[in-house]
Amino acid sequence: MPYLIRCLQSVEAQTLPADRFELIAVDDGSKDGTGAYLDEFAARTAVPTTVIHQANSGGPSGPRNVGLARARGRYVFFLDADDFLGFEALERMVAIADKAGTDVVLGKMVGVNRGAAGSMWGRHDEERVDIFDSRVIYTLSAQKLFRRELLTRHGITFDEKMRNGEDAIFTMEAYLRGAGVSVVSEYVCYYLVGRDDGLHVTRSGSYEPRFEALEALVELIAELVPEGPKRDFMMARPFTVGLIQQFGPGVLKESEEVRAHKLELAAPITKYWTPGVAKLIKVNERLRLECVARGRLDLLADIHRYIAARHTPKVVRAEQGDAAYLVYPHFRKPEAGLPDSAFEMTVPEWAPSKRLQAPARSKPGQSKPTPTLARRVVRRVRRDMKRWKSSV
């Protein structure tokens, strides 16, 4: 409360007929009037509603599992009490899942008084995406439509022992075991609400549970995806959204004891840090992760300071071949021990707001590359304009 009021209003307002879905509300030991409001709502709404009252479990996994066990529909959707649905959300998500035969549907999310991931939403709905070539892996929250038969067949539930990241494990397993993923981009299905009091579970707690969740995520990927490019693609996610944040600039202010402990917790994760994963990540992130994997927080500190100063690294080409490198601190410094591959441009690069590109290689006998005809014309026009302006 009071967010629950708008949440339930959005359920009642669904364009999917009320007799086609059920609401299972789990009152997880609330002490703010939530339980009484749920009972009142269930008594008056046209939506078939079951209210379950239980002692506080300490996290979202228990209540979600309780609701999942009671569900009888072909699909389930996990709606947090702080948030609310777009009025056509359920109708659109069910329709695309039925049409495409997919097991998971992502409905477009936007933030209300908070940010929300946006790179996975295109201009149009997608009936089926390839999870090994899609941004959908960068949204692993539980607020999605899941085919219930998939969950029951594989026994996919939320890990009640985990204190953080349990939804990422749940969703990733559904992605990997399911028969496809659909994306609804043309309509906002879900509104993520930022609480005025700032009390979000995902923003609280110490660092240990976050490492625990990351380790569970990489182990799940390793179990379900054979070694190769597909595994590399999936592994890039926990490194760039997870591990790197644990070694942000703030780590420089932490005690030696905490730093050492973080490196110890990172070790089971960085064993999956491979050249195939590294090349999928831009250089400034790759370098930081390489330092973590090598236990070189001294080098990491230099890179953090360089990035904080908003320097633009120089781009240099290899003497032979097409490789190009960004000259960040410790580039080709033998004492640092960082390989050239850690500095190589393998994906589009920006630093800090400028697109970085390798310089054109000169042809034999030329000190500079020959401009194209179009470029020569543009240069001539610019020279003529300058002369004209100076003569006016």
Q: Which residues are catalytic?
A: 167
Residues 6+ apart with CB under 8 A from 28: 54, 56, 57, 62, 63
What whole-number distance in Å separates Cα of residue 255 and Cα of residue 384?
A: 62
Asked if residue 329 lies in contact with residue 296, where contact means CB atoms within 8 angstroms, the answer is no
Calculate the alpha carbon distances from 369 to 49, 179, 318, 376 in Å: 71, 51, 16, 12
What whole-number distance in Å separates Cα of residue 223 and Cα of residue 221?
A: 5
What is the signed CA dihedral for 13, 15, 19, 22, rounded to 10 degrees? -60
What whole-number distance in Å separates Cα of residue 287 and Cα of residue 310?
A: 16
Dihedral (CA of 130, 134, 137, 143) sign: negative
Calculate the alpha carbon distances from 251 to 62, 88, 244 in Å: 33, 44, 11
Residue type, 349: E
CB atoms within 10 A of CB 103: 23
Residue type, 365: G
**Paired sense of beta strands 145-147 and 75-77, if any:** antiparallel
**DSSP single-letter state for residue 294:** H
Calculate the alpha carbon distances from 80 to 67, 133, 204 in Å: 12, 29, 17
**Paired sense of beta strands 49-54 and 126-129, if any:** unpaired
- Angle formed by the axes of helices 297-308 and 283-294, nearest 10°: 160
What whole-number distance in Å separates Cα of residue 180 and Cα of residue 191?
A: 24
Tokens of 359: 């310089």
Asked if residue 76 lies in contact with residue 68, where contact means CB atoms within 8 angstroms, the answer is yes
Tokens of 137: 């892996």
